[in-house]
Structure 1
Amino acid sequence: MLYGIVAFPEKHVQDFANSWRRRYDPHYSAIPAHLTLREAQEWSDEELQLAVAHLEQATAALPPFTIALDRVSTFYPVSHVLYLALQDTAAMQRLHEAICCEPLAITASKYVYTPHVTIGQELSADELHDLYGNLRMQSIHISSKIDRIQLLYQTDNGSWTAFQSFLLRG
Protein backbone atom coordinates (compact mmCIF):
# COMPACT_ATOMS: atom_id res chain seq x y z
CA MET A 1 0.00 0.00 0.00
CA LEU A 2 1.11 3.59 -0.66
CA TYR A 3 1.85 5.66 2.48
CA GLY A 4 2.88 9.29 3.01
CA ILE A 5 3.55 11.57 5.97
CA VAL A 6 2.12 15.10 6.20
CA ALA A 7 1.27 17.90 8.61
CA PHE A 8 -2.13 19.50 8.18
CA PRO A 9 -2.24 23.22 8.99
CA GLU A 10 -5.15 24.65 10.96
CA LYS A 11 -8.55 25.03 9.26
CA HIS A 12 -8.20 28.75 8.43
CA VAL A 13 -4.99 28.02 6.49
CA GLN A 14 -6.62 25.09 4.71
CA ASP A 15 -9.59 27.29 3.82
CA PHE A 16 -7.27 29.99 2.44
CA ALA A 17 -5.29 27.46 0.39
CA ASN A 18 -8.46 25.72 -0.78
CA SER A 19 -9.83 28.97 -2.19
CA TRP A 20 -7.09 28.55 -4.84
CA ARG A 21 -6.79 24.76 -4.87
CA ARG A 22 -10.44 24.28 -5.86
CA ARG A 23 -9.62 25.66 -9.28
CA TYR A 24 -5.88 25.13 -9.75
CA ASP A 25 -5.02 21.83 -8.03
CA PRO A 26 -6.34 18.64 -9.63
CA HIS A 27 -5.60 16.81 -6.35
CA TYR A 28 -7.95 19.09 -4.39
CA SER A 29 -10.55 16.38 -3.81
CA ALA A 30 -7.99 13.65 -3.03
CA ILE A 31 -6.24 15.28 -0.04
CA PRO A 32 -6.74 18.39 2.10
CA ALA A 33 -4.22 21.26 2.01
CA HIS A 34 -1.08 20.00 3.74
CA LEU A 35 2.69 20.22 4.16
CA THR A 36 4.39 17.06 2.92
CA LEU A 37 7.00 15.68 5.29
CA ARG A 38 7.84 12.53 3.39
CA GLU A 39 6.84 11.62 -0.14
CA ALA A 40 4.55 8.66 -0.69
CA GLN A 41 6.08 5.21 -0.87
CA GLU A 42 4.90 1.61 -1.08
CA TRP A 43 5.41 -0.20 2.24
CA SER A 44 4.93 -3.79 3.31
CA ASP A 45 3.17 -4.56 6.62
CA GLU A 46 6.60 -4.97 8.26
CA GLU A 47 7.82 -1.61 6.90
CA LEU A 48 4.61 0.01 8.14
CA GLN A 49 5.19 -1.35 11.67
CA LEU A 50 8.77 -0.02 11.65
CA ALA A 51 7.53 3.36 10.40
CA VAL A 52 4.87 3.64 13.11
CA ALA A 53 7.39 2.81 15.85
CA HIS A 54 9.85 5.34 14.41
CA LEU A 55 7.19 8.07 14.18
CA GLU A 56 6.13 7.44 17.80
CA GLN A 57 9.73 7.89 18.92
CA ALA A 58 10.49 10.90 16.71
CA THR A 59 7.36 12.86 17.67
CA ALA A 60 7.91 12.20 21.39
CA ALA A 61 11.05 14.35 21.23
CA LEU A 62 9.67 17.25 19.16
CA PRO A 63 7.60 20.14 20.56
CA PRO A 64 4.67 21.76 18.74
CA PHE A 65 5.55 24.93 16.83
CA THR A 66 3.97 27.67 14.73
CA ILE A 67 4.59 28.31 11.06
CA ALA A 68 4.00 31.59 9.24
CA LEU A 69 3.04 31.65 5.56
CA ASP A 70 3.87 34.98 3.98
CA ARG A 71 3.97 34.73 0.19
CA VAL A 72 3.18 32.77 -2.94
CA SER A 73 6.08 31.13 -4.74
CA THR A 74 6.70 28.61 -7.51
CA PHE A 75 9.00 25.70 -8.35
CA TYR A 76 9.18 26.83 -11.99
CA PRO A 77 11.04 25.77 -14.15
CA VAL A 78 11.48 22.42 -12.34
CA SER A 79 7.72 21.96 -12.05
CA HIS A 80 4.61 24.02 -12.69
CA VAL A 81 3.57 24.33 -9.04
CA LEU A 82 2.36 27.38 -7.12
CA TYR A 83 2.56 27.27 -3.35
CA LEU A 84 2.27 29.19 -0.10
CA ALA A 85 5.81 29.64 1.23
CA LEU A 86 6.91 29.63 4.85
CA GLN A 87 8.56 32.71 6.30
CA ASP A 88 10.99 30.50 8.25
CA THR A 89 11.42 26.84 7.36
CA ALA A 90 13.72 25.82 10.25
CA ALA A 91 11.09 24.08 12.42
CA MET A 92 9.63 22.16 9.47
CA GLN A 93 13.15 21.21 8.37
CA ARG A 94 13.88 19.80 11.85
CA LEU A 95 10.63 17.84 11.77
CA HIS A 96 11.43 16.49 8.29
CA GLU A 97 14.94 15.46 9.37
CA ALA A 98 13.65 13.73 12.52
CA ILE A 99 11.15 11.75 10.45
CA CYS A 100 13.30 10.96 7.42
CA CYS A 101 16.03 8.99 9.16
CA GLU A 102 16.57 5.42 10.36
CA PRO A 103 13.90 3.19 8.79
CA LEU A 104 12.36 6.16 6.92
CA ALA A 105 15.61 7.50 5.45
CA ILE A 106 15.28 8.79 1.90
CA THR A 107 18.11 7.32 -0.12
CA ALA A 108 17.84 9.24 -3.39
CA SER A 109 15.58 12.28 -3.25
CA LYS A 110 14.69 14.01 -6.52
CA TYR A 111 14.29 17.39 -4.80
CA VAL A 112 15.65 19.50 -1.97
CA TYR A 113 13.04 19.49 0.80
CA THR A 114 11.07 22.73 0.66
CA PRO A 115 8.15 22.84 3.11
CA HIS A 116 5.11 24.47 1.51
CA VAL A 117 1.35 24.31 0.96
CA THR A 118 0.53 23.66 -2.70
CA ILE A 119 -2.21 25.88 -4.16
CA GLY A 120 -1.84 24.99 -7.84
CA GLN A 121 -0.15 22.29 -9.90
CA GLU A 122 -0.10 20.77 -13.36
CA LEU A 123 -0.63 24.26 -14.79
CA SER A 124 0.38 25.32 -18.27
CA ALA A 125 3.38 27.66 -18.39
CA ASP A 126 1.18 30.61 -19.41
CA GLU A 127 -1.35 29.95 -16.66
CA LEU A 128 1.42 29.54 -14.08
CA HIS A 129 3.07 32.84 -15.01
CA ASP A 130 -0.25 34.69 -15.09
CA LEU A 131 -1.35 33.39 -11.69
CA TYR A 132 2.05 33.86 -10.11
CA GLY A 133 2.23 37.43 -11.37
CA ASN A 134 -1.13 38.21 -9.76
CA LEU A 135 -0.72 36.24 -6.52
CA ARG A 136 2.80 37.33 -5.61
CA MET A 137 1.52 40.90 -5.23
CA GLN A 138 -1.01 39.85 -2.57
CA SER A 139 -0.16 40.49 1.05
CA ILE A 140 -0.27 37.18 2.91
CA HIS A 141 0.16 36.88 6.66
CA ILE A 142 -1.28 33.66 8.05
CA SER A 143 0.05 31.32 10.68
CA SER A 144 -0.76 27.88 11.94
CA LYS A 145 0.19 25.74 14.87
CA ILE A 146 1.71 22.39 13.95
CA ASP A 147 1.13 20.02 16.85
CA ARG A 148 0.78 16.66 15.08
CA ILE A 149 1.67 14.77 11.96
CA GLN A 150 -0.37 12.24 10.04
CA LEU A 151 0.59 8.97 8.45
CA LEU A 152 -1.71 8.67 5.43
CA TYR A 153 -2.50 5.87 3.02
CA GLN A 154 -3.94 6.04 -0.46
CA THR A 155 -7.31 4.40 -0.99
CA ASP A 156 -8.40 2.50 -4.09
CA ASN A 157 -10.08 5.61 -5.52
CA GLY A 158 -6.85 7.64 -5.25
CA SER A 159 -7.80 9.76 -2.24
CA TRP A 160 -5.70 9.90 0.92
CA THR A 161 -6.94 9.11 4.41
CA ALA A 162 -5.35 9.05 7.86
CA PHE A 163 -3.87 5.79 9.05
CA GLN A 164 -2.59 7.26 12.33
CA SER A 165 -1.88 10.67 13.90
CA PHE A 166 1.16 11.41 16.04
CA LEU A 167 1.16 14.32 18.51
CA LEU A 168 4.34 16.35 18.86
CA ARG A 169 5.05 15.81 22.57
CA GLY A 170 8.58 17.16 23.14
Structure 2
Amino acid sequence: MKYGIVVFPSKPIQDEVNSYRKRYDPHYALIPPHLTLKEAFEADNDELETLITELKMIANETEPFKININKVSTFAPVTNTIYLKVEPIQELIDLHEKMQSGKFPKNEEYSFVPHITIAQKLKHDEYSDIFGSLKMKSFQIEDTVDRFQLLYQLDNGSWTVYESFVFGKEYV
Protein backbone atom coordinates (compact mmCIF):
# COMPACT_ATOMS: atom_id res chain seq x y z
CA MET A 1 0.00 0.00 0.00
CA LYS A 2 1.11 3.59 -0.63
CA TYR A 3 1.66 5.93 2.35
CA GLY A 4 2.78 9.51 2.90
CA ILE A 5 3.40 11.82 5.88
CA VAL A 6 2.04 15.36 5.96
CA VAL A 7 1.11 18.31 8.15
CA PHE A 8 -2.39 19.66 7.65
CA PRO A 9 -2.58 23.40 8.35
CA SER A 10 -5.41 24.85 10.45
CA LYS A 11 -8.89 25.14 8.94
CA PRO A 12 -8.68 28.90 8.12
CA ILE A 13 -5.51 28.27 6.09
CA GLN A 14 -7.04 25.22 4.40
CA ASP A 15 -10.08 27.30 3.46
CA GLU A 16 -7.92 30.04 1.92
CA VAL A 17 -5.75 27.55 0.03
CA ASN A 18 -8.83 25.66 -1.19
CA SER A 19 -10.27 28.88 -2.65
CA TYR A 20 -7.43 28.61 -5.20
CA ARG A 21 -7.05 24.82 -5.37
CA LYS A 22 -10.64 24.13 -6.41
CA ARG A 23 -9.95 26.10 -9.59
CA TYR A 24 -6.26 25.39 -10.22
CA ASP A 25 -5.34 22.01 -8.69
CA PRO A 26 -6.60 18.75 -10.25
CA HIS A 27 -5.74 17.00 -6.95
CA TYR A 28 -8.20 19.21 -5.04
CA ALA A 29 -10.67 16.35 -4.46
CA LEU A 30 -7.95 13.79 -3.63
CA ILE A 31 -6.25 15.37 -0.59
CA PRO A 32 -6.78 18.46 1.61
CA PRO A 33 -4.18 21.26 1.58
CA HIS A 34 -1.01 19.96 3.22
CA LEU A 35 2.71 20.33 3.73
CA THR A 36 4.51 17.11 2.72
CA LEU A 37 7.09 15.77 5.18
CA LYS A 38 7.61 12.40 3.49
CA GLU A 39 6.82 11.73 -0.16
CA ALA A 40 4.60 8.78 -1.05
CA PHE A 41 6.21 5.40 -0.37
CA GLU A 42 5.22 1.73 -0.44
CA ALA A 43 5.14 -0.35 2.75
CA ASP A 44 3.72 -3.70 3.81
CA ASN A 45 2.08 -4.32 7.22
CA ASP A 46 5.32 -5.28 9.01
CA GLU A 47 7.19 -2.25 7.64
CA LEU A 48 4.25 -0.05 8.57
CA GLU A 49 4.26 -1.19 12.21
CA THR A 50 7.99 -0.40 12.45
CA LEU A 51 7.45 3.05 10.90
CA ILE A 52 4.54 3.82 13.25
CA THR A 53 6.83 3.09 16.21
CA GLU A 54 9.39 5.50 14.71
CA LEU A 55 6.73 8.15 14.09
CA LYS A 56 5.54 7.91 17.71
CA MET A 57 9.12 8.47 18.91
CA ILE A 58 9.54 11.47 16.59
CA ALA A 59 6.24 12.97 17.80
CA ASN A 60 7.22 12.40 21.47
CA GLU A 61 10.49 14.31 20.92
CA THR A 62 8.91 17.23 19.05
CA GLU A 63 7.45 20.37 20.59
CA PRO A 64 4.77 22.38 18.78
CA PHE A 65 6.19 25.19 16.64
CA LYS A 66 4.98 28.08 14.49
CA ILE A 67 5.26 28.27 10.72
CA ASN A 68 5.05 31.42 8.60
CA ILE A 69 3.76 31.78 5.08
CA ASN A 70 4.39 35.12 3.43
CA LYS A 71 4.61 34.66 -0.32
CA VAL A 72 3.62 32.72 -3.40
CA SER A 73 6.36 30.89 -5.27
CA THR A 74 6.74 28.32 -8.04
CA PHE A 75 8.74 25.27 -9.10
CA ALA A 76 8.97 26.59 -12.68
CA PRO A 77 10.66 25.85 -14.99
CA VAL A 78 10.73 22.25 -13.65
CA THR A 79 6.93 22.14 -13.30
CA ASN A 80 4.13 24.69 -13.53
CA THR A 81 3.31 24.27 -9.84
CA ILE A 82 2.40 27.32 -7.77
CA TYR A 83 2.55 27.16 -3.99
CA LEU A 84 2.50 29.09 -0.74
CA LYS A 85 6.07 29.10 0.54
CA VAL A 86 6.44 27.95 4.15
CA GLU A 87 9.53 29.53 5.73
CA PRO A 88 12.05 26.67 6.21
CA ILE A 89 12.61 26.91 9.96
CA GLN A 90 14.92 24.45 11.71
CA GLU A 91 12.11 22.55 13.50
CA LEU A 92 10.47 21.79 10.16
CA ILE A 93 13.75 20.78 8.52
CA ASP A 94 14.59 18.51 11.49
CA LEU A 95 11.16 16.85 11.31
CA HIS A 96 11.59 16.20 7.59
CA GLU A 97 15.14 14.85 8.00
CA LYS A 98 14.09 12.39 10.70
CA MET A 99 11.64 10.88 8.21
CA GLN A 100 14.34 10.39 5.57
CA SER A 101 16.66 8.30 7.73
CA GLY A 102 16.70 5.23 9.94
CA LYS A 103 14.00 2.71 9.05
CA PHE A 104 12.20 5.04 6.64
CA PRO A 105 12.32 4.29 2.90
CA LYS A 106 14.99 6.29 1.05
CA ASN A 107 12.69 7.72 -1.62
CA GLU A 108 13.36 11.45 -1.55
CA GLU A 109 13.20 12.62 -5.15
CA TYR A 110 13.61 16.38 -4.62
CA SER A 111 15.22 18.70 -2.08
CA PHE A 112 12.88 19.64 0.76
CA VAL A 113 11.06 22.88 -0.01
CA PRO A 114 8.34 23.42 2.64
CA HIS A 115 5.21 24.48 0.76
CA ILE A 116 1.46 24.12 0.34
CA THR A 117 0.47 23.59 -3.30
CA ILE A 118 -2.26 25.86 -4.65
CA ALA A 119 -2.02 25.13 -8.40
CA GLN A 120 -0.40 22.43 -10.54
CA LYS A 121 -0.44 20.78 -13.96
CA LEU A 122 -1.28 24.11 -15.60
CA LYS A 123 -0.83 24.92 -19.27
CA HIS A 124 1.96 27.49 -19.73
CA ASP A 125 -0.29 30.48 -20.55
CA GLU A 126 -2.65 29.68 -17.69
CA TYR A 127 0.32 29.25 -15.34
CA SER A 128 1.76 32.65 -16.34
CA ASP A 129 -1.56 34.45 -15.76
CA ILE A 130 -2.27 32.80 -12.41
CA PHE A 131 1.26 33.16 -11.05
CA GLY A 132 1.41 36.77 -12.18
CA SER A 133 -1.77 37.68 -10.32
CA LEU A 134 -1.02 35.62 -7.17
CA LYS A 135 2.53 36.98 -6.95
CA MET A 136 1.07 40.46 -6.38
CA LYS A 137 -1.05 39.28 -3.41
CA SER A 138 0.27 39.74 0.09
CA PHE A 139 0.23 36.75 2.42
CA GLN A 140 0.97 37.08 6.15
CA ILE A 141 -0.06 33.75 7.63
CA GLU A 142 1.15 32.17 10.87
CA ASP A 143 0.08 28.75 12.04
CA THR A 144 1.00 26.40 14.86
CA VAL A 145 2.09 22.88 13.97
CA ASP A 146 1.41 20.41 16.77
CA ARG A 147 0.96 17.13 14.90
CA PHE A 148 1.56 15.26 11.66
CA GLN A 149 -0.46 12.62 9.88
CA LEU A 150 0.36 9.29 8.29
CA LEU A 151 -1.86 8.97 5.21
CA TYR A 152 -2.64 6.07 2.91
CA GLN A 153 -3.88 6.12 -0.65
CA LEU A 154 -7.21 4.57 -1.59
CA ASP A 155 -7.91 2.76 -4.87
CA ASN A 156 -9.53 5.89 -6.36
CA GLY A 157 -6.30 7.88 -5.82
CA SER A 158 -7.56 9.89 -2.85
CA TRP A 159 -5.65 10.04 0.45
CA THR A 160 -7.04 9.50 3.93
CA VAL A 161 -5.58 9.65 7.45
CA TYR A 162 -4.26 6.36 8.81
CA GLU A 163 -3.04 7.85 12.11
CA SER A 164 -2.29 11.28 13.63
CA PHE A 165 0.75 11.86 15.83
CA VAL A 166 0.47 14.71 18.37
CA PHE A 167 3.72 16.37 19.45
CA GLY A 168 4.94 15.81 22.99
CA LYS A 169 2.26 13.21 23.67
CA GLU A 170 3.54 10.13 25.44
CA TYR A 171 2.84 7.20 23.15
CA VAL A 172 3.29 3.77 24.63
TM-score bucket of the superposed structures, by smaller chain: over 0.9
Partner of 1:24: 24
Q: 1:76 to 1:89 in 2, by over 3 A?
A: farther
SS at match of 2:103: helix
Partner AA of 1:150 in structure 2: Q
Partner of 2:128: 129
Residue 106 of structure 1: CA displacement? 2.2
Deviations 1:45-82 (A, max 9, x none): 11101110110111111111111110100000111100
Paired residues of 2:60 and 2:168 also in contact (CA < 8 A)? yes
Deviations 1:16-35 (A, max 9, x none): 10000000000101100000
Residue 110 of structure 1: CA displacement? 2.3
Distance 1:144 1:128 in 2: 27
Distance 2:168 2:101 in 1: 19
Structure 2 residues not aligned, in runs of 5+: none
Residue 99 of structure 1: CA displacement? 2.2
Residue 89 of structure 1: CA displacement? 3.4
TM-score by length of 1: 0.95
Deviations 1:109-168 (A, max 9, x none): 321110100000001111111111111111101111110000000111111111000011
Residue 105 of structure 1: CA displacement? 4.7
SS at match of 1:39: strand
TM-score by length of 2: 0.94
Partner of 1:69: 69
Structure 1 vs Structure 2 CA RMSD: 1.3
Structure 1 residues not aligned, in runs of 5+: none
Alignment of 1:6-17 (within 5 A): 6-17=6-17
Q: 1:16 to 1:163 in 2, by over 3 A?
A: same
Partner of 1:51: 51
Distance 2:167 2:39 in 1: 20
Q: 1:88 to 1:102 in 2, by over 3 A?
A: closer
Distance 1:113 1:88 in 2: 9
SS at match of 2:53: helix
Distance 2:140 2:131 in 1: 17
Residue 91 of structure 1: CA displacement? 2.4
Distance 1:45 1:101 in 2: 19
| Number of matched pairs | 169
Distance 1:105 1:31 in 2: 22
Partner AA of 1:35 in structure 2: L
Indicate the percent of aligned positions where both proteins have the same amino acid: 44
Partner AA of 1:127 in structure 2: E
Distance 1:120 1:15 in 2: 15
